[in-house]
Amino acid sequence: MEASVQPRPAGSQRTRSEHRLAWMLCAPAVIAMLAVTAYPIGYAIVLSLQQIDLRFPDQSGFVGLDNYKAILSSELWWTDIFNTVFVMVTSVTIELVLGMAVALVMHRAIFGRGVVRTSVLIPYGIITVVAAFAWQFAFAPDTGFVNHLPLIAEDMDWFGGRFSSFAVIIMAEVWKTTPFMALLLLAGLVTIDSQLYEAAKVDGASAWQRFTRITLPLMEPAILVALLFRTLDAFRVFDTIFIMTRGAQDTESVSILGFNQLISRLNLGLGSAVSVLIFICVFLIAFLFVRGFGARVEEGRPGS
């Protein structure tokens, strides 16, 4: 960029002032974004190396990696990691299938497209906490209507067991976030040339063949972007579990564990170590995705 400017000394003054203007325009946003991410994560690392419990302030001190050792050797952390990954993988998988179905309906429906788009946006607009309450009330044995439906035992205690709680939690998560998935997939669908389908039809390809041989391969980048966003989002699952079980029946996620240590027990040292570990997990997920993603995009390029 600089090199192309240098042969024209007359322009460099202007270029420099343009750079200054650009930086000034970006400064407020950059500062606001760093102030609550880069600085706190650095501070979290510092806190995580100390024993700081706000209930026992005089016992503070530097303890090195002891907090990390305590967490990584505790059964609770690994249970919570399992729970988080279980909810993440299950809900994102269901969302991908449902989201693809909804995207196809929005894209291919000859009529009623507006109705589908309208109704799909309703879950998106609803507060996650509100959605969690709605599903909790629906499944609760006292207030709910679900246990009065046919085929379901009337005294089924959904929130009394671990995996029945997960079933309701995942249902609420899927309901709330499938629209986002569907919209991202729809954006990928509309870029596919409809002539490809016509040609395949002429060659006698069935609807299923057209979907698996044309739609899916061409949509791979869009699918991966949607999966990346939703996977990272699902790994942070907090609101729904907090409202429905507060982590009871072994349904705690890592975000709930961090919250309990930090805010409920005021143990900043241990809680910050949990925060840093969650940050590392998210970083690893993103890193693995971007590596896989980059290669796939390269493969998908025409002419390669």
Tell me the two tokens of residue 30: 């950059």
For residue 25, the Cα-to-chain-centroid distance in whole angstroms is 30
Strand, helix or coil for residue 237: coil
Stretch touching another protein by CB under 8 A, among 65-73, 126-134, 211-219, 295-303: 126-134
Site for another protein in 83-102 (CB under 8 A): 101-102
100, 169, 241, 271: residue in contact with another protein (rule CB under 8 A): 271
Min dist CB 99 to another protein, Å, is: 11
89, 216, 263, 288: residue in contact with another protein (rule CB under 8 A): 263
Write the CB contacts of 201 (distance below 8 Å, at least 6 apart in sequence): 210
Residue 31 corresponds to which amino acid? I
Our finding on whether 287 is near another protein (CB under 8 A) is no
- Residues 196, 214 contacting (CB under 8 angstroms): yes
Site for another protein in 162-201 (CB under 8 A): 175, 179-180, 183-184, 186-188
Write the CB contacts of 264 (distance below 8 Å, at least 6 apart in sequence): none
Contacts of range 288-295, beta carbons closer than 8 Å, 24 or more positions apart: 289/224, 289/227, 289/228, 289/231, 290/228, 292/224, 293/221, 293/224, 293/225, 293/228
Min dist CB 278 to another protein, Å, is: 5
Site for another protein in 30-59 (CB under 8 A): 30, 32-33, 35-37, 39-41, 43-44, 47
Give the single-character DSSP code of 245. T
Strand, helix or coil for residue 61: strand
Min dist CB 285 to another protein, Å, is: 9
- Kindly determine how many residues on this chain lie close enough to bind another protein according to the rule CB under 8 A: 93
Stretch touching another protein by CB under 8 A, among 62-70, 197-205, 208-216, 270-278: 270-278
Tell me the two tokens of residue 104: 């196809």
59, 73, 143, 195: residue in contact with another protein (rule CB under 8 A): 143
Query: For the chain, what is the largest distance between any 2 Cα atoms, rounded to a whole number of angstroms?
Result: 82
Min dist CB 82 to another protein, Å, is: 18
85, 116, 167, 218: residue in contact with another protein (rule CB under 8 A): 116
Report d(CA 265, CA 163) in Å as an integer. Answer: 27
Min dist CB 288 to another protein, Å, is: 13
Output 45 or 205, the one with its CB closest to another protein. 45
Site for another protein in 199-228 (CB under 8 A): 222, 225-226
Site for another protein in 235-254 (CB under 8 A): 235-236, 238-239, 242-243, 254
Report d(CA 44, CA 187) in Å as an integer. Answer: 38
Rg (CA), the chain: 25
